[in-house]
Structure 1
C-alpha cells in the first residue's frame, strides 16, 4: 500500500485543474509515473493491489487496471502473476535516481545558452498585448474589419482550390499575393517592385531578423536611428551586431554622422516615411545621400515602411527603395497594422541578387506563410477591398487623433506637451511636469492604462521623458474615459 504522502501526491494530481482534460486512468498513471521518476517509489517496490488503490482513490478497479497496464507498457512497472505489480529496475541514468546535491543545484541554474541565444533571451523579446487596452501603441481598429467579406473570399479560395490549398506553399509566397503586393507598393509607395522580387513572410520582425543574419556577421556595425523601434534594435543585438545610434531631428536621421564615420558600417536601418517614435519624415536630400553612401560602400539600407498607409496630411513621401537605382535597399512592409495582427503576413521587396538566398534562409525558419491566408489576402487586394479598407480607416484614425489631441489639451496640459503627428497610430507626448516617466507609466498601469515610455527607445541618454499614446483601436468615448483616468492617476502622483 502507498504511504500517506504518496497517496496524497496521487490525489493532488487527480485534483489539479491543469490535468482536468485527461482521462481519469491517465491522471493516475501520470501521478504514479512521477513518483517513480522522482525516486519516491524505488526499484522493486510493490504497488498497491488494484482493488485496494481503487478503494483509496474512490475510483473503479478497471480505472486502476488501465493505469497499471499503461505503466507496464512503458516499462515503469513489472506485473508478476500471483505476486502483483512492482516498480521496474532502473538504471543509474534514470531521471530522479542518484541525483547528487551538486546536480540538483545545476538543474535549477540558468540554462546554458549560446551567446546568440542568451542575447535573444536577455532582450526580453517583443511582447504584444493579447487584449490591448488604451493607450497601447501600434494597434489597429479590428472591430470594424469586414469579416464577412473576408470569410466569403476565403470560402471562394477553398472551393476553387480544394485540398490543394492544404499543401505546403511556395517559400517565396503565393504568386498571386506577390503580384498584388508589387502592384500596391509601386502605385502607393513609389517602389520599384515586381512579383519575383517580393518575399512573403510572417512579420516585419521576421524580415529584420533575416536581414541581420543573412547580410551581416556578428560584430559588424549597423547604423540605427536614435530613438528607434525597439524590435529592430533587439533583432540586431540578438544577431551580435554592433548597433551604432544616430540621432534623429525634425528631418529624420542625421546623415552627416553616417557620412563622416571613419569606420565602415555594413548597413543602416531606417523608418523614413514616418520615423518611430518621433514621426519625422526623412528629407529628400538625406534619402539621396544615403542611397549614394550605400552604393559607394556596398552597404545595405533596411527600410521599414511600417505604417505608411495612415498619413493624415497629403500623400506620404515615396519610399527610399523607389529612389535607389543601385539595388542596395531592402523594403519591409506588413499587413499587421493596415489589416489585423492575427493575419501574420509581412513582406520584403528585395534586390534581385538577394531573392534566392533570403528565400532559402526563410525555409530554415518556418518554411512558408500560411497558404489560405495568403490567397484570401490576394483576392482582398485584387478586388479593391484593401484600398477601400485603408481609406476608411484613415478617416477614422484621423478623427480619433484629433479627439485625442483635444482631450490631452483639455485634461493633461499641466503634465504633457503633445506632439501631434501627421500619420501613424500613436501620438508622442513629452512630460513637462516634475513627474518621472517611470512614475507616470506605473500610475497609468495601476488604472488599466498602457503607455510606452520614450526614454527606453533611446540608445544614448539625452532623450526627453514622455510616452506614446496609441489611439487607432479606441473609440472617441473610450479615449475620453482613458484620458480622464490617466489625468486622475497623474494628479494623485503629483499630489502624493
Structure 2
C-alpha cells in the first residue's frame, strides 16, 4: 500500500482546482507518475491493488484500472498477472530523489538564461491589473465604449472580406488602417506621415523594444527623461543599453544637459506632449534644439505620444516628428489609452529608411497584428467615430479630473499636494507630511486602492515622494468612495 503521505498526494491531485478539467483517471495517473518521477516510489515497489486504492480514494475500481493501464502503456509500471502492479525497472531514468528547493530552482533559472534574458526577467516586465481598481493609472473608461457600433462595423468587415480576414496579415499592417492612422496624426498631431511610413504593432511597448534592439547595440548610451515611464526604462535596460538620466523642469526635458554632455548618446527617449509622470510639456525651443542635435550627430529621437488626445487646458502642441525635417524621429502612438486596452493595437511612424528593417524585425516577434481588429478600427476611424469618441471622453475625463482634485484637496490635504495636469489620464500628488511613500502605498493597497509611487520612476529611486492617481476609468461617485477610504487608511497609518 501507499504510505499516508503518498496517498495524500494523490488525493491532493484529485482536489486541485487547476486539474478539474481532467478526468478522474487522468488525475490519478498523473499523481502516481509524479511520485515515480520524484523518486517517492522506488523502482520495483508494488502499487496498491486497484480495488484497495479505489476504496481509499472514493472512486470506482474501473477509474483506477484505467489510470494503471495508462501508466503501463507509458512504461512507468509493470503489471503481472496474479502478482499486481509494480513501479517499472527503468534503466535510462534516474529519479530525482530530493525535490529541488525553491531557491535552488530560482538560481538554476537565472543561470540558464543569457545576459539579456536575465535582464529581461530581472526587470519584472510590465504588468497591468486585469481588474483595475482606483486609482490605477493609464486606464481609460471602457464601460461607455460604443460596443454595438464596433460590433456592427466588425460584421460589415466580415461580410465584405469573408474568410480571407482569417488568414495571415501584412506584417506592416493593413493598408486601410495605416492610411487612417497617417491621416489622423497629420491632422490632430501635426505629424508628417504617409501610410507607407506607418508600422502597425501590438503596443507602444513593442515599439520601444524594437527601437532598443534595432537602433542601438548593447552598451550604447540613450538619454532618458528622469523621472521616466518605467516601461521604456525596462525595455532599454533589458536591451543592454546605458540609460543616461536627464532632469526635467517646468518646460520639460533639460536639453542643455544633452548638449553639454561630452559623451554623446545614440538616441533620446522623451514624452514631450505630456511628460510621464510630471505632465510637463516640452517647450518649442527645446524641441527644435533636439531636432538639430539629432541631425548633427545622426542620433535618434524616440517620441512616445501616449495620451496626447486628452488635453483639458490650452492648445495642443505639434509633435516633434512633425517639426523634424531631417527624419531622425520615431513617433510612437497607441490606441490602448484612447480606446481600450484589449484592442492591442499601437503604431510607429518611421523615417523611410527604417520601415523595411523594422517590419522585418517585427515578423520575428509576432508576425502581424490581427487583420479583423485592424480593419474594424480603420472603419471606426474613417467613419468619424474615433474623433467623436475622443471628444466625448475628453469631456468625461475633464469632469472626473475636477472631481478628483476637489476631493483630494478636501480629504487628503494633510498628506498630499496635487499637481493638476493639463491633460492625460492621471494626476501626480506629492507627499507633504511625515508619511513615507511606501507606507502610503501599502495603506492604500490594504483597502483596495492602487497607487503608483513617484520616487521609483527616478533613475536613482530617490525622487520626490508621492504617487500617481488615475482618474479616467472611475466615475465621480467611485472616486469619492475611494478617496474617503484612502483618507481613512492614511490617517490610520499616520498614527504613532
Contact 1:14 1:27 in 2 (8 A): yes
- Residue matched to 2:116: 116
| Matched position secondary structure for 1:224 | strand
> Structure 1 residues 15-24 or 203-212, which shifts more?
15-24
CA distance in 1, matches of 2:34, 2:96: 9
The question of 1:488 aligning with 2:484 is answered no
| Matched position secondary structure for 1:240 | coil
Structure 2 counterparts to residues 303-342 of structure 1, below 5 A? 303-342=303-342
- Residue matched to 1:51: 51
CA distance in 2, matches of 1:413, 1:12: 52
Deviation per residue, 1:95-126 (Å, 9 max, x gap): 426x6x99998546351122212212222221
| Matched position secondary structure for 1:364 | helix
| Matched position secondary structure for 2:365 | coil
- Residue matched to 1:26: 26
CA distance in 2, matches of 1:463, 1:203: 28
> Structure 1 residues 247-256 or 64-73, which shifts more?
64-73
- Residue matched to 2:69: 69
Q: CA deviation at 1:79?
A: 3.3
CA distance in 2, matches of 1:315, 1:106: 57
Contact 2:36 2:95 in 1 (8 A): no
| Matched position secondary structure for 1:421 | coil
CA distance in 2, matches of 1:89, 1:378: 63
- Residue matched to 1:426: 426
- Residue matched to 1:89: 89
Distance 1:134-1:176 versus aligned 2 partners, 3 A rule = same
Distance 1:427-1:33 versus aligned 2 partners, 3 A rule = same
Distance 1:335-1:53 versus aligned 2 partners, 3 A rule = same
Structure 2 counterparts to residues 284-433 of structure 1, below 5 A? 284-433=284-433
- Residue matched to 1:167: 167
Distance 1:36-1:289 versus aligned 2 partners, 3 A rule = same
Stretches (4+) displaced over 6 A? 101-105
- Residue matched to 1:37: 37
Distance 1:79-1:93 versus aligned 2 partners, 3 A rule = closer
Deviation per residue, 1:394-419 (Å, 9 max, x gap): 00001111111112222222322211
RMSD: 2.0
- Could you tell me the TM-score, scaled by structure 2's length? 0.95
- Residue matched to 1:283: 283
Contact 1:178 1:196 in 2 (8 A): yes
Distance 1:106-1:458 versus aligned 2 partners, 3 A rule = closer
CA distance in 2, matches of 1:277, 1:61: 63
- Could you tell me the TM-score, scaled by structure 1's length? 0.95
CA distance in 2, matches of 1:104, 1:339: 42
Structure 2 counterparts to residues 470-485 of structure 1, below 5 A? 470-485=470-485
Contact 1:226 1:460 in 2 (8 A): no
CA distance in 1, matches of 2:18, 2:463: 46
Distance 1:33-1:447 versus aligned 2 partners, 3 A rule = same
- Residue matched to 1:131: 131
| Matched position secondary structure for 2:85 | strand
Give the count of matched residue pairs: 494
Q: CA deviation at 1:224?
A: 0.4
Q: CA deviation at 1:176?
A: 1.4
CA distance in 2, matches of 1:242, 1:187: 36
Contact 1:245 1:460 in 2 (8 A): no
- Residue matched to 1:140: 140
CA distance in 1, matches of 2:210, 2:319: 21
Contact 2:313 2:422 in 1 (8 A): yes
